[in-house]
Amino acid sequence: MIKILHAADFHLDSAFHGLTPEQASSRRQEQRHLVEELIDLCQSQKCDLILLAGDLFDSDRAYTDTIDLLIRNFSRCPVPIFIAPGNHDFYTPGSPYQTAAWPENVHIFTSPHVQTIALPALDCLVSGAAFTTPRSQSMLENFSADKSAKYHLMVLHGEVDIPASSYNPITKEQIAASNLTYLALGHIHQASGLKKAGKTYYAWPGCSMGRGFDETGPKGVYLITIDDAGPQAQFIPLSGRRYETLQVRVGDDPLSAIMAALPADTQDHIYRIFLTGPSPSLDLNSLYEVLSSRFFSLQLRDQTIPIRDVWAHAGEDNLKGLFLQELSQAIASDPKIRDIATLAAQLTLAIMEHREVPES
Ligand SMILES: [Mn+2]
């Protein structure tokens, strides 16, 4: 059996545009803590090796603080660590991959051509390749595992089944032909689940921490356990802040509706809540006042449809007025039709005034 910790897309030292310099610096510090968490996880899960599938850094430069922290944590890690530089942190002269004094257990792939390292103690081969510019052609083309070891792993930054991609486009046919035991990918920021092509299993774990509302939900790493039955993947969330979006139909009591929709653990996370459905006019500021302390950061978006007095124009000397007058007289003579007649009035007014037709 072999246990692998597979992570990708930490994007350490991101600029965090849109935040104040202090907030951005604090978010970068949070990213660095995830590296400590990764190594803690490797030890507690007794992993045999770590595969980092690119975009460890957000660019081909990094803060010295970050390099120091990586070296400190990689040094205390008792197992081999393989890094396949990605399109953001491509390997280039002057990049931290080339200049820093990495500990001996760290192997960084430096060429776009696949290279292979043997780990005889684990009966395992680890192959990989590097982006050396921000773009790359397919790295897996014509590769086939040589089967001289029980396990043959590969770590690459790239994307599957997007033939026109400039980021190491990989086909399922190439994966099947590779005959690898497990292909550890990175680049796509949403976790893939464990996939299979031919006899080869593959996956990408997604990014290690969301950086915007296009990267919502828990983020983490894969613990890959390979025994004679084949690989199993367990997604382990890391503790970084999450971005979450939520839709709440506000009804008559917006605050209660929002409170009822909230999960318990919102305190450390960044939420955007869309308020929907028919509603009297909302006071977003007072809702924000009451709610904001429950979140690291909160945004409220009013997407409600204003409730209006549909009968306000009844009796006016125009088509709308005459129509409403007819309907209200019909209700007066037969109160049982009130609900359906009111709905008819709402829908007809929406059409006449060229508004979106409200949900009924
Ligand atoms: Mn990438």
Residue pLDDT, tens place only, 195-225:
999 999 999 999 999 999 999 999 999 999 9
Question: Phi then psi for 160, rounded to 5 degrees?
Answer: -100, 135
Specify whether domain 2-237 bears CATH 3.30.1950.10: no
| HSE-up (13 A, CA, CB side) for residue 193 | 2
Which strand (E) or helix (H) includes residue 108? strand 106-108
Contacts 24+ apart (CB under 8 A), 202-207: 202/160, 202/175, 203/6, 203/233, 204/8, 204/53, 205/6, 205/7, 205/8, 205/53, 205/235, 206/8, 206/9, 207/8, 207/9, 207/10, 207/11, 207/55
Q: How far is the CA of 57 from the centre of ligand 1 (A)?
A: 10
Low-confidence ranges of the chain (pLDDT < 50): none
* pLDDT for the residue 281: 81
At a CB cut-off of 8 Å and minimum separation 6, what does 73 contact?
35, 36, 38, 39
Q: Are 216 and 210 in contact (CB under 8 A)?
A: yes
Q: State the distance from the centre of ligand 1 to the C-alpha of 181, rounded, in angstroms.
A: 23
Q: Which amino acid makes up residue 149?
A: A
pLDDT of residue 142: 95
The Å distance, Cα 14 to ligand 1 centre, comes to 13
| Distance from the alpha carbon of residue 129 to the mean position of ligand 1, in angstroms | 14
Q: How far is ligand 1, taken at its centre, from the CA of residue 111, in Å? A: 17
Q: How far is the CA of 40 from the centre of ligand 1 (A)?
A: 25
User: Residue 61 C-alpha to ligand 1 middle, in angstroms?
Assistant: 15
DSSP strand pairing (297-302 vs 270-276): parallel
Strands 220-227 and 278-279: unpaired
255, amino acid identity? L
User: Residue 110: its pLDDT value, please?
Assistant: 98
Query: 301, 255, 305: which is closest to 277 by C-alpha?
Result: 305
The SS3 call for residue 57 is: strand
Report the amino acid identity of residue 177: A
Q: Rounded to the nearest whole angstrom, what is the distance from the C-alpha of residue 99 to the centroid of ligand 1?
A: 22
Distance of CA 336 to the CA centre of its chain: 51
Q: From ligand 1's centre to the CA of 199, what distance in Å?
A: 26
- How many C-beta atoms surround the C-beta of residue 22 within 10 A? 8
**Cα of 225 to ligand 1 centre, how many Å?**
25
pTM, to two decimals: 0.87
